[in-house]
Structure 1
Amino acid sequence: MTWDESRTAKMLQAAEKRLSQASEGAVLVGAAESLAGRLEALVRNSRCYRWLTAEPNPDVIVIDLRETYTVGPFIGLLETVARPVERAWSNSGLESAAATAGTTMSGSRIGQLLSAFLEPPESPERER
């Protein structure tokens, strides 16, 4: 290391020390740290963060029904039949008639009552 590099390194260290001393009591630094702390708490308490970082429940058992002997063939049959039926239904006259009837029915009093009756209940998590 030559004399110039050594002198430059010492000057940089002195400048860093002065900046850190000056910023210790600065209002802007305190506000930024406070904001960062609040933001961290907000993220850590969010449902999404808790869901992504939650440990799996050891009591939950997941069974892929497609691999079972009793339900698997029915699911395979439904998947085989559902694709052609969906293609035939799309853009058919029956689909447009059903959409028109649904729109007309949803505006009626009976349609509104059926909609309210068939609406799923609130999940227990939302009630908390």
Structure 2
Amino acid sequence: MSQSGSFRPGIIVMLLGSLAGLAVALYAYFTPLTGVNGSLGALVVILSTIALAILTLVLAPLSHRSGRVALRVLILLDLVGTGFAGLLLHQWWLTAAMVVGLIGLLLEMASSASSTTPAHS
């Protein structure tokens, strides 16, 4: 039985991680005394988490293997870069959200690998 592209657990976990990261980045950017409020670094992280959410939503319905691989690489780079930025900005919850997104990416890769493996009789 095939799962719908939008209901795969990995996609949902990646989307939750990116939205949680966006919430943390918005809080850090707009709240005084966070140490990074109004900074360029926090603004870039806001943009990267938005990009991550968009890439995740584009990945969900995609059926072409080469397109899925390319998007996974872009998502991985975004997750690692944003997680590292979270460490540099001392926003530990942002890094934790990116780890959740990475777990979602691994789940998505495992689920699509198991659905494309031919069954042996």
Q: TM-score, normalised by structure 1?
A: 0.22
Q: TM-score, normalised by structure 2?
A: 0.23
Please identify the structure whose Cα radius of gyration is greater. 1
Which is bigger in relative contact order (C-alpha 8 A, separation at least 6)? 2
